[in-house]
Amino acid sequence: MIESLEPIIEGHLFFKGLEKRHIKFIAGCAKNVRFAEATVIFREGDPADQFYFVREGLVAIELMVPQRGFTTLQTVGVGDVVGWSWLLPPYKWRFAARTTEVTRALAFDAKCLRAKCEDDHDLGYELFKRFSNVMAERLEATRLQLMDLYGVGA
Amino acid sequence: MASGLDQPVAVGPVEPMVPLAFPIERVRKETHDTFTLDLAPPAEFSFAPGQFNMVYVFGVGEVPISISSDPSQKSAFQHTTRVVGTVTSALKRLKKGDTVGIRGPFGSCWPLAEAVGGDCLVVAGGIGLAPLRPVIYSILAQRQKYKRVVVLYGTRKREDILFARELERWRGKLDLEIEVTIDRGGPEWRGNVGVVTTLIAQAPLDPANTTAMVCGPEVMMRFTLMELQRRGIPAERVYLSMERNMKCAVGFCGHCQYGPTFVCKDGPVFRFDRIAAVFGKVEI
Amino acid sequence: MSDTSVGVNERVVIEVPDFDQLLQALTTRGYEILGPVARDGAIVYDRVTSTSDLPSGWTDEQNGGQYRLKRREDMALFGYAVGPHSWKKFLHPPVQRLWEAKREGNTFRILADSPAPAKRAFLGVRACELYAMAVQDKVFLEGPYVEPGYQARRDSVFVVAVNCGVAGGTCFCVSMNAGPRATFGYDLALTEVLSGGRHYLVMHVGTPLGAEVLRNVRHRPVADPETREADEIVANTAQQMGRQMNTEGIKELLYRNYEHPRWENVAARCLTCANCTMVCPTCFCTTVEDVTDLSGEHAERWRKWDSCFTKDFSYIHGGSIRATTKSRYRQWMTHKLATWIDQFGSSGCVGCGRCITWCPVAIDITEEVRAIREAEAAGLSAAGTDRP
């Protein structure tokens, strides 16, 4: 029995305001996924063919630095989105993502959505609006992290 | 002047003009640049959470430091501070049995009474956890008066986490939500990485009925306030602790002025809507 | 001397040759008299023992960044405006030891307070200065804490006020509703009259103590023409103000214009020399210095005048909040004219003009207010000069 994800998607703040037909389409591209703790979701350079909406757990965005190993740049938690590299060419992940806890998420078929966005610009615009906001918030947070706010002189 | 934990009000100073000699019980290192001073007052010493003392090192100088301990503990109190100058360096070198001069307590306090019956959100950044620790104790001491209680704490690295043992102990409580995040991830850290503002959106609260208490570097508070506003917490229910240069703590020297307020007597805890007109203005 | 005892609120006439009896009466009662003397090219406040110490026959010419003494054609005792000193020099001393302490083993002990201050008589207090003292009273006596030293000094002062017979080139007490007539806060207040060959003082009794001291000074009841002459002099002074400030809605005006480009303009001229804060009779900011002797056994805390114009004034770990000249000038002027009202219920400015006279680059607070007001009216407000 395939559970319809429409109500879940409709109910969420991120997708609020989307037209019914768009919700239906998006739901059609989505599936529930579950990752165990310390599981690699994607690697740097992998094709960005999916993006994730975290429903439970914690995901670490990591960068591999030779001699230093994997460093967590930021973590993404419940209610937040992992990945926007799927939206922009060359559609490859720029960072790695690994779960730090058991994580349940909604995984979206990015290839399918990309194709549909080319066809239906209304959907494209709606998704771009929402993802630009994700990027903006992530950028703002990253800038604050860079500021080393807690050092003396902060 | 303190009317007990039921209706906490700011306590007046024992001796506002002249320091009283208090023996040091212990000087304990917290992180590489932060330490806690345990003091045993010769007589009962009361304070309300959020208040500060002027701490004097004989012949060296005097600095304002928030009181960081549990207000219900009358026989001892603590100051947690970073080493940032001559006086704090001298303070750190003191030992059990040495004496410091205390004037205080001074200033306004966290809104325990106003928060009753609603959710409490505590947002701390870096050393900002120290002036908030007393209010967390006070809330927990009368837990039944509040609804949901959420503590969000951000600092730079894992090694900079203050009061780690206490945080772990509090985390174990079923009726308290604590989230800690650090700016710089490390190899053994499996928790949140990112600025503390990112934890606000998902905090389990009813924004319309939440009292927020915020303390940390001013930049962090600016962005925190923006997130609180996005969340829909009203400005009249957001409180922050401000810091300015202080010399006298009694409203005479003029140094701590912040717009039309004196941080020493109108603050350091301010209700946000009352300072909204100057908050964030460049070089005010 | 006089067989009639005078009541409070009455006026009497004292002939100038008899005026010295007032000084002697005060000295006999144990007062140290402080009053105007000419020294170093200015009229300053210092010890006065007789009327011959006063700068009779002198006046001052004041303008932006300018002060000079000039001889008058008569021998008026008080024929000048105010100089660089104000009475805050005595009530809120520039350097003051707050306490001393001695090390005792592991602890320390604060040593007993110094004795009560000497009784002082202030001779020649202008209306603007009475207002300035009242403004400082609000700071030190009417807040949540009382400054005990200030209180002791204030309580023991005998005030002989002077209604100004000449307005200074930078005066604007009328704009600030702070003069030129003294209306409160004095034991005695005099108006000096030189007319038709006569030279006399019309003295108004403010307190029972003033009346008491006057018993040792030759005087007689004032006649109507003399009252009229005295009142006319003060009325004339009010017409001669060197400057003017429109205070209507001034608090809101400055609150609206924190980012006005005018602040950049004045910052380009201001040297942050802090002269204005030193000569201003209401500026009260101080700093604290903790010192110890070489042995480390004896420590003292000293309080000294400070100024919001110094870079360190707003220093907290890592840097100063107000690092730029612009922010410091804005702080001073906004505090004086706007936030002071919210803090203490009245303006911090009494229109004495000292800040204008003693500014080395002649920055004029009345002009700065005018510039912001006019620019705003012309629609040029809030052009924002913050760096992104």
pLDDT in tens, C320-357: 999 999 999 999 999 999 999 999 999 999 999 999 99
Q: Cα(C94)–Cα(C304) distance, rounded to whole angstroms?
A: 5
| pLDDT tens digit sequence for C370-383 | 999 999 999 854 55
Which residue pairs from B160-165 have beta carbons closer than 8 angstroms and sit at least 24 positions apart in sequence? B160/A150, B160/B31, B160/B32, B160/B34, B160/B126, B161/B31, B162/B30, B162/B31, B162/B34, B162/B80, B162/B127, B162/B129, B162/B130, B163/B30, B163/B129, B163/B133
Q: Cα(C208)–Cα(C220) distance, rounded to whole angstroms?
A: 17
Note whether A148 contacts B156, CB cutoff 8 Å. Answer: yes
> What pLDDT score was predicted for residue A2?
55
Of C108, C313, C324, the CB nearest to B58: C108
Average pLDDT over residues C67-93: 97
Q: Cα(A16)–Cα(A23) distance, rounded to whole angstroms?
A: 9
pLDDT range class, residue B243, cuts 50, 70, 90: very high
Residue pair B228/B243 in contact by the 8 Å Cβ criterion? no
* Distance, first Cα to last Cα, chain C: 75
Residue type, A60: A
Of C108, C139, C313, the CB nearest to B252: C139
Residue pair C9/C205 in contact by the 8 Å Cβ criterion? yes
- Whether B265 contacts chain C with CB within 8 A: yes
- For residue B199, is pLDDT > 70? yes
B-chain residues within 8 Å CB-CB of C284?
252, 254
> What pLDDT score was predicted for residue C4?
59
Residue type, A59: V
- What is the nearest CA distance from B97 to chain A, expressed in angstroms? 29
| pLDDT tens digit sequence for B17-42 | 999 999 999 999 999 999 999 999 98
Structure-block tokens of residue B265: 């007597």
Q: Cα(C34)–Cα(A58) distance, rounded to whole angstroms?
A: 76
- For residue C264, is pLDDT > 80? yes
Q: How many CA atoms lie within 13 A of B124 on its CB side?
A: 27
Q: At what angle do helices C365-377 and C262-269 cross, to 10 degrees?
A: 150
**Which residue in this structure is represented by tokens 């400070």?**
C306
- Give the burial class of B44: count Cβ atoms within 10 A of its Cβ; 0-12 exposed, 13-18 middle, 19 or more buried: exposed
Structure-block tokens of residue C247: 């205070």
Residue pair B94/B159 in contact by the 8 Å Cβ criterion? no
pLDDT range class, residue C251, cuts 50, 70, 90: very high
Of A77, A141, A149, the CB nearest to B126: A149
Q: For residue C155, which phi and psi values (nearest 5 degrees)?
A: -65, -25
Q: Which residues contact B129 (CB under 8 A, 6 or more apart)?
A: B153, B155, B162, B163, B215
Of B21, B253, B255, the CB nearest to C108: B21
B-chain residues within 8 Å CB-CB of C148?
17
B-chain residues within 8 Å CB-CB of A140?
223
A-chain residues within 8 Å CB-CB of C319?
153
Instruction: Name the β-bridge partners of C38.
Output: C43
C-chain residues within 8 Å CB-CB of B262?
343
Of B24, B228, B204, nearest to B119 (Cα)? Answer: B204
Note whether C288 contacts B16, CB cutoff 8 Å. Answer: no
> What pLDDT score was predicted for residue C388?
37
Note whether A75 contacts B197, CB cutoff 8 Å. Answer: no
Helix, coil or strand: residue C61: strand
- What is the nearest CA distance from B51 to chain A, expressed in angstroms? 21
Of C40, C190, C205, C222, nearest to C123 (Cα)? Answer: C190
Q: Cα(C88)–Cα(C97) distance, rounded to whole angstroms?
A: 16
- What is the nearest CA distance from C316 to chain A, expressed in angstroms? 8
Of C242, C228, C263, nearest to C175 (Cα)? Answer: C242
Among C100, C106, C147, C250, pick the best mutation site for testing chain B contact (most B Cβ within 10 A): C106
Note whether B254 contacts C107, CB cutoff 8 Å. Answer: no
Note whether C139 contacts B251, CB cutoff 8 Å. Answer: yes
- For residue B5, is pLDDT > 60? no
Among B245, B261, B266, pick the best mutation site for testing chain C contact (most C Cβ within 10 A): B245
Residue pair C233/C193 in contact by the 8 Å Cβ criterion? yes
- What is the nearest CA distance from B154 to chain A, expressed in angstroms? 9
Average pLDDT over residues C14-37: 98
Note whether B187 contacts A154, CB cutoff 8 Å. Answer: no
The CA-atom distances, in angstroms, between C59 and each of B79, C143, C354 are 58, 39, 15
Q: For residue A34, which phi and psi values (nearest 5 degrees)?
A: -140, 130
Residue pair B176/B203 in contact by the 8 Å Cβ criterion? no
Angle at C340 between CA C339 and CA C345, to 5 degrees: 115
- Whether A65 contacts chain C with CB within 8 A: no
> What pLDDT score was predicted for residue B65?
98
Average pLDDT over residues C300-313: 97
| pLDDT tens digit sequence for B92-112 | 999 999 999 999 999 999 999
Q: Cα(B209)–Cα(B220) distance, rounded to whole angstroms?
A: 23
Q: How many CB pairs under 8 A join A and B?
A: 79
B-chain residues within 8 Å CB-CB of C114?
none
* Domains of chain A, first to last: 32-143 (2.60.120.10)
- Which one has a higher pLDDT value, C114 or B275? B275
Note whether A148 contacts B191, CB cutoff 8 Å. Answer: no
C-chain residues within 8 Å CB-CB of A147?
none
Residue of B nearest to C299 (CA): B59
- For residue C6, is pLDDT > 50? yes
Residue type, C231: D
**Which residue in this structure is represented by tokens 């000094």?**
C153
Three state DSSP letters for chain B: CCCCCCCCCCCCCCCCCCCEEEEEEEEEEEECCEEEEEECCCCCCCCCCCCEEEEEECCCEEEEEEECCCCCCCCCEEEEEECCCHHHHHHHCCCCCCEEEEEEEECCCCCHHHHCCCEEEEEEEHHHHHHHHHHHHHHHHCHHHCCCEEEEEEECCHHHCCCHHHHHHHHCCCCCEEEEEECCCCCCCCCEECCHHHHCCCCCCCHHHEEEEEECCHHHHHHHHHHHHHHCCCHHHEEEECCCCCCCCCCCCCCCEECCEECCCCCCEEEHHHHCCCCCCCCC
Note whether B245 contacts C148, CB cutoff 8 Å. Answer: no
Residue type, B138: S
| pLDDT tens digit sequence for B125-153 | 999 999 999 999 999 999 999 999 999 99
- What is the nearest CA distance from A92 to chain B, expressed in angstroms? 23
Query: For residue C29, what is the DSSP state?
Result: T
| pLDDT tens digit sequence for B219-233 | 999 999 999 999 999
- For residue B8, is pLDDT > 70? no
Instruction: Identify the sign of the CA torsion A69, A75, A81, A87.
Output: negative
Least confident stretch, A92-96, B253-257, C113-117, C190-194: C113-117
Instruction: Give ipTM to 2 decimals.
Output: 0.93
Give the DSSP H/E element, type plus range, for residue A145: helix A121-146
- For residue C240, is pLDDT > 90? yes
List the 94-153 stretch of A: residues with Cβ below 8 A of C: 152-153
Residue type, C211: A
Note whether C314 contacts B60, CB cutoff 8 Å. Answer: no
Least confident stretch, B215-219, B245-249, C57-61, C384-388: C384-388
- For residue C12, is pLDDT > 70? yes
- Whether B254 contacts chain C with CB within 8 A: yes
- What is the nearest CA distance from B125 to chain A, expressed in angstroms? 7
- What is the nearest CA distance from C107 to chain B, expressed in angstroms? 5
Instruction: Identify the sign of the CA torsion B239, B245, B247, B253.
Output: negative
Structure-block tokens of residue C133: 């003292």
Q: At what angle do helices B129-141 and B164-171 cross, to 10 degrees?
A: 30
Report the predicted TM-score, pTM, of the whole model to 2 decimal places.
Answer: 0.92
Query: For residue C92, what is the DSSP state?
Result: S
> What pLDDT score was predicted for residue A1?
43
> What pLDDT score was predicted for residue C380?
58
% of chain A exceeding 70 in pLDDT: 96
- What is the nearest CA distance from B123 to chain A, expressed in angstroms? 14
> What pLDDT score was predicted for residue A147?
87
The overall average pLDDT reported for chain B is 94
Q: Which residues contact B231 (CB under 8 A, 6 or more apart)?
A: B200, B201, B203, B205, B207
Q: Cα(B207)–Cα(B215) distance, rounded to whole angstroms?
A: 19
B-chain residues within 8 Å CB-CB of A141?
194-195, 197-198
CA trace torsion A124, A125, A126, A127 (10° rounding): 50
Largest CA distance in chain C: 77
> What pLDDT score was predicted for residue B186?
82
- What is the nearest CA distance from B138 to chain C, expressed in angstroms? 26
> What pLDDT score was predicted for residue A152?
66
Of B156, B160, B197, the CB nearest to A141: B197
Instruction: Identify the sign of the CA torsion B201, B204, B209, B211.
Output: negative
Instruction: Put residue A60 in one of left, alpha, beta given phi > 0 → left and psi -120 to 50 → alpha.
Output: beta
- What is the nearest CA distance from C111 to chain B, expressed in angstroms? 10
CA trace torsion C201, C207, C209, C215 (10° rounding): 40
CA trace torsion C345, C351, C352, C357 (10° rounding): 130
pLDDT range class, residue B2, cuts 50, 70, 90: very low
* Domains of chain B, first to last: 20-106 (2.40.30.10), 112-241 (3.40.50.80)
Q: How many CB pairs under 8 A join A and C?
A: 6
% of chain C exceeding 90 in pLDDT: 92
Among B247, B256, B275, B279, pick the best mutation site for testing chain C contact (most C Cβ within 10 A): B247
Structure-block tokens of residue A97: 């993502």
A-chain residues within 8 Å CB-CB of C318?
152-154
A-chain residues within 8 Å CB-CB of B160?
150
